[in-house]
Each structure stands twice: as C-alpha cells, then as structure tokens.
Amino acid sequence: MLDSGAFTFMSNSKNKYLFKESNTKSSKSETVDWNSYVARYADFILEHDIHDFFELDIDSVVGLSKVEDLRKSLEHRTARQCIPVWHKSRGLDNWNSLVKDYPCVAVGGIVIGEIRRSQFKYLLKLCDLAHDHACKIHGLGVSHEQLGTNRYRFDSTDTSVWSVGHRFAYVYKFTGKRLIKFSKPEGQLMDAEKVIAHNFLEWMKFQRYLLHAGWSMKP
C-alpha cells in the first residue's frame, strides 16, 4: 500500500508552509499546490504500476469537499480506485457510502488521537458495516499496543513502532502469542543497529503469528 505522504508532509512542514489553494499567494510562506501534488502522485503510481494507494486525506486543511475533488482527480489520472481514508469528522453516512463504493477503506486519526481510546469500541461497528458489504478495512498507524491483536477486526494495519525502539530505549520480545516491551536497564548503552534488527525480527514473528494462527474475524 502506497501512502500519499500527506500526513508526513504536513507534520514536517507545519511551520514552513501555508496550506492554501494554489492561486493564493503569501509573502511569508510557500504555498502548496495540491492539484500539482496529486498530478505528481498519480504519475508515480502509474510509473511503478501501483494498485493499492491512499487518497490525500487532508480534510483538516482543505475541507472534505476539496479532498473529494482531489480523490476524483487522482482516480481519473490513474484510472484506478484509491483507498479512501475515513476520518471521524466525515460521519457515519460518509462511512456507509464509502464501504459500498470501495473494496477497501482505511480508518485515519487513530495515531493523532482524533479517535480517542474511549471510542475504540465503535470501531467494531464500523468494521461490521464494512464487512457486510465485502469491504476490507485498513487501520492506519494501528499497533497491538493501541488496539490489541484482533479485537477490532481490521483486515490489515500498519505501524512504525517497531522502528523506534532505539530512540526510546526499549526492545520487543515475541512470546508466541503477543509482544512484550522491555525498557533498557538504567546505566546501560544500546547498539541502535542491533536494536532495530532485533525488533524487526520480533515483529516479523508476531506478523506471521497473526497471519497463520492468531487472527480471527470473530470477536
């Protein structure tokens, strides 16, 4: 699955860019031409023959109407359906429409806390509604530490937490059914490259477990 880069782009550039329409000029900051961004994104998709790619879910920046226009442009340029990224602000009616029209829909906003932990229980209903229409659900930035292994019945998820252990001084250990995190003993140093390699292998074990043994659509 190819990410649009919108989240990273906005996070890294929030103090440098003003997110305005391409015809709006600013003397203080650069502007982002989202139409041009979509065109280059579509060219990359076609050049590399990518079939699973996410829309630019920049609702909070340009509004849902503009996001939907960008989605149409992206799909027109690629002649392929993208993976829409639903946000809580879009509402349930929008969710029901997306899962009817698309074979796969992603849920966004979990990483940044847009969907609060107390609201995770509603993800069950969202997944059930999607599966009723044979639509698969991808959880963006979802790790086992947030949502458990199969509690919310996502069809797929992605996470980068395996790659940051060397930054926050911890390692993972797969027990055969779940991952346990161990903090670095006080006063000891860590070899960053070895920690990254170790955590990657432990997460691979966990992934294989979910794929072959421990994952179920049943609650």
Q: CB-based contacts of 39: which residues, under 8 Å, 6+ apart?
A: 73, 77
Tens digits of per-residue pLDDT, 92-137? Answer: 999 999 999 999 999 988 877 888 888 888 888 999 999 999 999 9
Domain's final residue, options 113, 146, 161: 161
pLDDT value, residue 211: 74
Higher pLDDT, 139 or 93: 93
Give domain status of residue 83, yes or no: yes
pLDDT value, residue 19: 47
pLDDT value, residue 22: 44
In the predicted model, what is the mean pLDDT of residues 42-60? 94
pLDDT value, residue 11: 61
Higher pLDDT, 11 or 74: 74
Give domain status of residue 117, yes or no: yes
Concatenate the DSSP letters of all residues of 44-102 into one string.
HHHHTT---BB----HHHH-HHHHHHHHHHHHHHHTS--B-EE-GGGHHHHHHHHHHH-
Structural domain including 210 reads: 162-219
